[in-house]
Structure 1
Amino acid sequence: LAAVVPMDGFHLANAELERLGRRGRKGAPDTFDAAGYVALLARLREADTTVWAPEFRREIGEPVAGAIAVAADVPLVITEGNYLLLDGAWASVRPLLDEVWYVQVDDGLRRERLVARHRRFGRSAEAAAAWVEQTDEPNARRIAAARHGADAVFTWGEP
């Protein structure tokens, strides 16, 4: 038995991204509440009662607070996210994790899947491809540069 607590629940709300002028870069490291994510991870390590975590809902494009219940007696908490190994605001994440696995995906396959996901949630083919190139690709390069901090590298998918 395990609980899954994704980092994506810490996306800043769209209204806040608009206010900060970051909506066009949603998904970049500074468009998340990294400190809130760190606080949740620390809280999960010490919990003696249920902890409620946020979840990102793609169908509305927003995080939803208190959507994931993590019981105090759950034996394993799995978290996933792109920025677990970054420095700066994210540097406090790694010490709170027992292991970090880096998932290596062929660049072409990753781009193809990202474009398909953006299309599923309403972007045109052109807009999806542009978003991947302008937003997702710089993020992917940042993530790949930090992979040296992983405990294991796992290759996913066909090249």
Structure 2
Amino acid sequence: MLPASDPPPLDELVARARALASSGPRRLLGITGAPGAGKSTLAGQIVGALGELAELVPMDGFHLAENELHRLGRHARKGAVDTFDGAGFVALLRRLRAAGPRTVYAPEFRRELEEPVAGAIPVPPSVPLVVVEGNYLLLAAEPWGEVRELLDEVWYLDLDETERLRRLTDRHVAFGREPVEAAARARGTDQRNAELIAGTADRADLVVRMAPSIAS
């Protein structure tokens, strides 16, 4: 793992991703960090800059369905590691890494539905870099421990804690929660998830100190 340093310019991160895309057969780049650290924003910027060289596959497509979360009694903890289909996520990464002759379809989480939608993200065989974004890419516990082995490089995003909590609370409000409920969620279930994720940072290839201009 490389030590964290001052926030790198976005163009440096894009250049690093571009080099990975050009380094041989299909590569998988993981972007991880605590909720609100800026994973989705940075991953989208990287893929947008690389154009046809990259496709984005978020881990959130492997949320368990609402009915299943209620059945298991886990709905109040949605977003925790046991509210995802980890084995299904690993299976998809294996298919993406194999880069066979056919398009691989990945699921996508739809906020307006609060449900994953199967087959929503096409990854053609011609795409040399898949950017995988999600919370639990560096966990050692099975089945998540297999994820790290399937990713060629993983970046861990580190944002100032006060700023991260502010952004996460604002995001919950934007998704329809009342401000008091949003703050409680950010400092409750989300914080427990964040502490679990923070304990995995030493397994990353690069720790990126996030500047507000990148994380926003």
What interval of TM-score do these two structures reach, taking the shorter chain for normalisation? Answer: over 0.9
Q: Deviations 1:111-130 (Å, cap 9, x if unpaired)?
A: 11111111111100011111
Q: Structure 1 residue runs of 4+, over 4 Å off?
A: none
1:144 pairs with one of 181, 194, 198: 198
How many Å separate the matches in 1 of 2:110 and 2:163? 23
Q: Percent identity?
A: 59
What root-mean-square deviation, in Å, do the aligned CA atoms of Structure 1 and Structure 2 show?
0.9
Question: Aligned residue for 1:124?
Answer: 178
Question: Aligned residue for 1:106?
Answer: 160
How many Å separate the matches in 2 of 1:108 and 1:15? 34
1:56 maps to amino acid: F
TM-score between the two structures when normalised by the length of structure 1: 0.97
- Tell me the SS of whatever aligns to 2:164: helix
Cα offset for 1:136? Answer: 0.6
Identify unmatched segments of 5+ residues in structure 2: 1-52
2:134 pairs with one of 81, 97, 101: 81
How many Å separate the matches in 2 of 1:40 and 1:119? 32
- Tell me the SS of whatever aligns to 2:153: coil
- Tell me the SS of whatever aligns to 2:131: strand
- Tell me the SS of whatever aligns to 1:138: helix
- The answer on 1:12 being equivalent to 2:64 is yes
Cα offset for 1:98? Answer: 0.2
Q: Deviations 1:16-47 (Å, cap 9, x if unpaired)?
A: 10000000000001100000000000001112
1:37 maps to amino acid: F
Whose relative contact order is higher, 1 or 2, with alpha carbons under 8 Å and at least 6 apart? 2
Question: Aligned residue for 1:48?
Answer: 101
Q: Deviations 1:90-114 (Å, cap 9, x if unpaired)?
A: 1010000000000001111111111
- The answer on 1:69 being equivalent to 2:118 is no
2:76 pairs with one of 21, 24, 30: 24
Identify unmatched segments of 5+ residues in structure 1: none
Q: Deviations 1:124-154 (Å, cap 9, x if unpaired)?
A: 0011111111111000110001100000000
TM-score between the two structures when normalised by the length of structure 2: 0.72
1:73 maps to amino acid: S
How many Å separate the matches in 2 of 1:82 and 1:58? 17
1:149 maps to amino acid: R
1:45 maps to amino acid: R
Aligned residues: 158
Cα offset for 1:64? Answer: 0.8
